[in-house]
């Protein structure tokens, strides 16, 4: 008899698991095959999907090199760790986007639903098998569970890692076992490595534990201060050990990544992406559905304040973690990308699970059947509203259900294809093309991905310039414009964020619309393209190089229009680069500049502009290093220039490969706006062959 029951239970489990797998394949298939678009933004194939494709190809060509590349990527802010589980799928089934998304659903969403089911059985002491599978399917019923994956994000993997840490913690909330401390510490670190924003998930996790410790301490104070002190001290020490394990794992496995995230102010870097508080509340409320939030609030109340069949102490941790995540994402960061909802989704799922089983345990059969039927219907409507175009239909109670994120369909698909074809025709010799971003309608990513979709990765020829889009994250657009042969301009200008956060885009749009001096080096071509939302695209072709004084005047105008310096803008800007040149900021705030010397006449073109603070007397220090001893030498020329680009004070120094390249120069910079550095030939008639060089430890001292 017992054996028959076990066999029946195993059979039920296999059937339900198979159904989960079927759903995990069916929903991505229906969603992706309904799309007709060229992907832009973070969910472009050139981003996560393309990285999996690249890693798959590398494993096929050389597994050893692939492992080396994967290991090396752990030093990046966005590593390739997430690609590894998906590689076998793409290797066997091909590199299509659908294969990638199905792999993410199978590898991350199914385990996520199962682990949440296990956690639910720790909270709800009532028919564990039924609780487990109800929670698993409830996970699949939320649009926010699916949408990050359907849009191409692998972030469900990070959410899975965090719920595994939660499961480990709930095994014993006092962290009685050392293996708990080690596993939790490693999992929290892995979540951060997997996707950087899960650092906030780890912080919410630790914060929830600390809040529970504080609550327990306060409750024991009335009994004995000594007991309360011990009650607090021991758990705090264990939490500290979890933190040490996590930091230790980060510092060993991904040292440069750990150093970078410790030194970078991400709040400032991504300030442009931060919504107003009211917009953030509205966004996160509507994304889940206000009706769902009402269910969640009832579930939280029942989970915390009713004891029947519910472990309130276990659910308390879920609620506190969720509250901390809500604080970080809804009130602090206020970012609008769909993947961030994964931080809050476990709270939503487990709260509704508590609600369902509280109803099941408390009410009469007739009443609870009706209520559960209505609840299931509401969740079904919410799901359809969230991931299909049906959600675009407006009706009086629409706000109760999830915001619609249907499959992406561009009605201007053919016109985008025509634009790509034209650009390939006029810029077939690797001429550089600058795309003025216009929201998601027109961007570098759009043209980049469209060309690869239309012609294949190997046949892509367009040389697209990296274009700034957001003030807090990017830099002045001058460098890209100076080296561009074509500029793609659209009107009206659309925005991804608030216009006040995209001034680095608007300043270029205004320059061409107002026919600023800089734009007179271009002429408009007699062809137009017509995109969605009545957007008209034009193309400008460069007819002459931009003179350095004109470039400086353009920069001065840009600075006046933009205001505060963009978040990633360095103190140096490349004005002219007849040969490939580059800038790198050193840890001590000095700079490394690598370039070639250039001809002196008619104008020096290997030119760099310092836009930082200047004092009446500025000291310039650095060291010139030559890549080849055959180089005759170079002359560094420093000039103070005003806002009109007029040179005021000039100083020069010559260098050869056979002398000490260190230098210290002083230059009066009173009334100067900028400091210009030109890397010239050693002598006017000297050859530039074999003259690759770098100016290292370049420091402008203004004290």
Backbone angles phi, psi at 105, to 5 degrees: -65, -45
Contacts of 434 (CB under 8 A, 6+ apart): 464, 465, 467, 477, 480, 481, 484, 486, 487, 488, 508
Three-class SS of 439-462: CECECHHHHHHHHHHHHCHHHCCC
Nearest to 672 by CA among 612, 622, 620: 612
What is each CA distance from 477 to 47, 468, 513, 523, in whole angstroms?
23, 6, 16, 19
Torsion angle (degrees, nearest 10) of CA 517, 521, 525, 528 = -40
Q: Is 570 helix (H, G, I), strand (E, B) or coil?
A: coil
Element (H, E) at 1: none
Angle at 540 between CA 535 and CA 545, to 5 degrees: 150
- What digits encode the pLDDT tens for the residues 572-622? 999 976 667 889 999 889 999 988 665 544 444 589 999 999 988 899 999
Q: Is 582 helix (H, G, I), strand (E, B) or coil?
A: strand
Q: Is 438 helix (H, G, I), strand (E, B) or coil?
A: strand
Nearest to 614 by CA among 584, 649, 582: 649
Q: Give average pLDDT by consecutive 10-residue segment, the chain, 703 residues.
A: 64 94 98 91 65 94 93 84 94 95 98 98 92 97 97 96 98 92 97 94 97 84 62 84 95 86 85 93 97 96 84 93 98 94 98 93 75 93 96 92 95 96 93 94 92 91 94 94 96 93 96 96 97 96 94 96 94 81 89 73 70 91 87 88 91 90 90 90 57 88 75
Between CA 197 and CA 185 the distance in angstroms is 17
Confidence (pLDDT) at 6: 66
Nearest to 566 by CA among 164, 135, 269: 269
Under a CB-based contact definition with an 8 Å cutoff, are residues 80 and 67 in contact? no
Element (H, E) at 28: helix 2-33
Between CA 603 and CA 62 the distance in angstroms is 48
Confidence (pLDDT) at 596: 67
Q: Is the peptide bond before 602 cis (omega within 30 degrees of 0)?
A: yes
Sign of dihedral through CA atoms 287, 293, 294, 295? positive
Between CA 229 and CA 218 the distance in angstroms is 10
Instruction: Residue count of the chain, please give it.
Output: 703
What are the chain's domains? 2-400 (no CATH), 413-562 (no CATH), 572-701 (2.60.120.260)
Under a CB-based contact definition with an 8 Å cutoff, are residues 532 and 411 in contact? yes
Say which DSSP state 332 is in. I
Confidence (pLDDT) at 217: 80
Q: Is 663 helix (H, G, I), strand (E, B) or coil?
A: strand
DSSP per position, 612-627: S---SEEEEEEEEEES
Beta bridge partners of 541: 486, 523
What is each CA distance from 241 to 179, 244, 647, in whole angstroms?
12, 5, 60
Token reading at 89? 């799928």
- What digits encode the pLDDT tens for the residues 501-518? 999 999 999 999 999 999
Nearest to 331 by CA among 340, 339, 403, 209: 340
Between CA 208 and CA 218 the distance in angstroms is 15
Confidence (pLDDT) at 135: 97
What is each CA distance from 89 to 21, 83, 93, in whole angstroms?
15, 11, 6
Token reading at 453? 């979709």
Confidence (pLDDT) at 39: 83
Nearest to 329 by CA among 510, 203, 449: 203
Token reading at 253? 């496995």
Between CA 322 and CA 302 the distance in angstroms is 16
What is each CA distance from 555 to 131, 560, 561, 565, in whole angstroms?
63, 9, 10, 12
Between CA 636 and CA 624 the distance in angstroms is 9
């Amino acid at each position: 008899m017992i054996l028959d029951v076990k066999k029946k239970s195993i059979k039920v489990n296999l059937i339900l698991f198979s159904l989960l797998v079927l759903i995990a394949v069916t929903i991505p298939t229906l969603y992706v095959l309904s799309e007709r678009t060229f992907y832009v933004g973070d969910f472009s194939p050139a981003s996560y999907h393309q990285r999996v494709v690249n890693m798959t190809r590398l494993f096929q060509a050389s597994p050893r090199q692939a492992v080396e590349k994967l290991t090396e990527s752990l030093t990046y802010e966005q590593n390739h760790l997430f690609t590894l589980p998906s590689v076998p799928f793409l290797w066997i089934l091909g590199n299509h986007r659908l294969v990638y998304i199905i792999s993410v659903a199978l590898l991350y969403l199914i385990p996520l639903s199962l682990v949440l089911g296990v956690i639910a059985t720790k909270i709800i002491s009532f028919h564990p098998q039924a609780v487990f599978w109800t929670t698993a399917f409830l996970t699949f019923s939320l649009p926010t569970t699916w949408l990050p994956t359907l849009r191409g994000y692998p972030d469900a993997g990070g959410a899975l890692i965090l719920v595994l840490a939660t499961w480990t913690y709930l095994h014993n909330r006092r962290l009685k076992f050392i293996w708990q401390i080690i596993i939790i510490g490693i999992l929290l670190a892995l979540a951060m490595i997997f996707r950087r924003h899960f650092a906030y998930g780890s912080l919410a996790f630790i914060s929830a534990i600390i809040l529970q410790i504080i609550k327990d301490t306060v409750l024991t104070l009335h009994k004995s201060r000594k007991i309360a002190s011990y009650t607090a001290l021991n758990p705090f020490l264990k939490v500290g050990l979890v933190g040490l394990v996590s930091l230790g794992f980060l510092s060993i496995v991904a040292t440069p990544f750990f150093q970078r995230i410790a030194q970078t102010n991400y709040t400032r870097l991504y300030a442009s992406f931060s919504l107003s508080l009211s917009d953030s509340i509205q966004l996160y409320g509507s994304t889940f559905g206000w009706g769902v939030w009402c269910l969640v609030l009832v579930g939280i109340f029942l989970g915390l304040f009713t004891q029947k069949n519910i472990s309130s102490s276990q659910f308390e941790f879920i609620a506190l973690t969720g509250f901390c995540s809500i604080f970080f994402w809804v009130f602090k960061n206020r970012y609008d990308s769909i993947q961030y909802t994964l931080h809050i989704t476990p709270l939503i799922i487990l709260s509704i699970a508590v609600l369902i089983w509280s109803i099941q345990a408390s009410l009469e059969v007739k009443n609870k059947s009706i209520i559960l039927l209505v609840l299931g219907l509401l969740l079904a409507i919410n799901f359809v509203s969230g991931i299909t175009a049906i959600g675009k239909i407006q009706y009086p109670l629409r706000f109760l259900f999830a915001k619609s994120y249907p499959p992406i369909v561009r009605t201007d698909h053919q016109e985008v294809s025509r634009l790509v074809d034209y650009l390939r025709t006029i810029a077939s010799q690797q001429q550089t093309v600058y795309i003025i971003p216009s929201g998601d309608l027109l961007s570098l990513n759009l043209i980049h991905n469209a060309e690869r979709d239309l012609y294949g990765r190997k046949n892509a020829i367009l040389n697209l310039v990296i274009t700034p889009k957001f003030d807090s994250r990017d830099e002045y657009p001058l460098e890209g414009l100076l080296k561009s042969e074509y500029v793609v301009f659209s009107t009206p200008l659309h925005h991804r964020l608030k216009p006040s956060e995209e001034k680095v885009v608007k300043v270029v749009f205004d320059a061409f619309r107002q026919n600023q001096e800089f734009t007179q080096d271009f002429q408009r071509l007699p062809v137009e393209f017509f995109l969605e939302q009545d957007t008209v695209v034009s193309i400008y072709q460069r007819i002459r190089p931009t003179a350095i004084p004109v470039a400086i005047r353009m920069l001065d105008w840009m600075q006046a229009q933009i205001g505060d310096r963009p978040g990633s803008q360095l103190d140096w800007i490349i004005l002219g680069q007849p040969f490939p040149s580059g800038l790198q900021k050193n840890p001590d705030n000095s700079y490394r500049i690598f370039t070639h010397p250039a001809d002196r006449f008619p104008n020096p073109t290997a030119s760099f502009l310092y836009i930082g603070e200047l004092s009446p007397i500025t000291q310039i220090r650095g060291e010139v290093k030559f890549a080849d001893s055959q180089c005759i030498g170079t002359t560094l020329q420093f000039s103070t220039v005003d806002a009109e680009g007029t040179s005021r004070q000039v100083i020069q120094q010559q260098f050869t490969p056979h002398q000490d390249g260190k230098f210290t120069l002083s230059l009066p910079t009173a009334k100067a706006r900028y400091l210009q550095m030109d890397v010239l030939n050693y002598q006017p008639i000297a050859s530039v062959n074999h003259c690759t060089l770098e100016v290292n430890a370049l420091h402008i001292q203004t004290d």
